[in-house]
């Protein structure tokens, strides 16, 4: 199973994201979605499991949970924005969600792919919305196959909206 991982779109969905996610089976959005239109465009590609972030209000805050736990292809996955932590680090997330084998978060706008405690994969895809101080926008791709650890990569975007 191939997952598209995205966060911090802040109401902007770049055409490049649609191209990168063209072959994904499921999309995980780690909050600060910014608009219902972003979710609708992603849902046209594949099923979406999303959470709200600290800048999501109104219908998004009502529709989405703060933390989503799901099981895909035999993996226990947690998706959260991460703003509930003083500093959302892989170790802090693993301590909060010890049952998860895969943890996806956003909030920091800094891409990260880490292995914690030998068996837990933690990914922050970076910010996919407007370019900010933390470099180029980015998303992530995770490959799940039962019986082997997830394989992941961060995909930098060109920065053109």
Q: What's the CA gap between 147 and 4, in Å, rounded?
A: 20
Q: Which residues contact 118 (CB under 8 A, 6 or more apart)?
A: none
Domain boundaries, the chain: 2-156
Alpha-carbon Rg for the chain in angstroms: 14
Whole-number pLDDT of residue 118:
80
Per-residue confidence band for 130, with pLDDT thresholds at 50, 70 and 90: confident
- Burial class for 72, CB neighbours closer than 10 Å (0-12, 13-18, 19+): middle
Pairing of strands 26-29, 48-50: parallel
SS (H, E, C) the chain: CEEEEECCCCCCCCHHHHHHCCCCCEEEECCCCCCHHHHHHHHCCCCEEECCCCCCCCHHHHHCCCEEEEEECCEEEEEECCCCCCCCCHHHHHHHCCCCCEEECCCCCCCEEEEECCCEEEEECCCCCCCECCECCEEEEEEEECCEEEEEEEEECCCCC
CATH class given for the domain over 2-156:
alpha beta
pLDDT at 33 over 90: yes
Whole-number pLDDT of residue 6:
98
Look-up of token digits 């030998």: 118
- What percent of the chain is predicted at pLDDT more than 90? 89
Alpha-carbon distances of 52 from 9, 31, 152, rounded to whole Å: 11, 5, 23
pLDDT of 87-103, one tens digit each? 899 999 999 999 999 99
Whole-number pLDDT of residue 161:
61
- Burial class for 45, CB neighbours closer than 10 Å (0-12, 13-18, 19+): middle
pLDDT of 55-94, one tens digit each? 999 999 999 999 999 999 999 999 999 999 988 999 999 9
The answer to whether the predicted template modeling score (pTM) of the entire model surpasses 0.75 is yes
Per-residue confidence band for 158, with pLDDT thresholds at 50, 70 and 90: confident
């Amino acid at each position: 199973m191939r997952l598209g991982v995205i966060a911090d779109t802040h109401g902007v969905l770049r055409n490049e994201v649609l191209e990168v996610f063209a072959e994904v089976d499921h999309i995980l959005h780690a909050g600060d979605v910014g608009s219902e239109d972003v979710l609708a465009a992603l849902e046209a590609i594949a099923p979406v499991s999303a959470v709200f972030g600290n800048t999501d209000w109104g219908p998004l805050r009502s529709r989405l949970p703060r933390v989503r736990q799901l099981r895909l292809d035999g993996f226990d996955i947690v998706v959260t924005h991460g703003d509930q932590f003083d500093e959302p680090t892989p170790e802090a997330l693993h301590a909060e969600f010890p049952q998860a084998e895969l943890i996806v978060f956003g909030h920091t706008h800094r891409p990260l792919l880490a292995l914690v405690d030998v068996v837990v994969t933690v990914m922050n895809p970076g910010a996919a919305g407007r370019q900010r101080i933390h470099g180029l926008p980015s998303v992530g791709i995770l490959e799940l196959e039962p019986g082997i650890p997830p394989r992941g990569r961060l995909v930098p975007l060109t920065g053109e909206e």
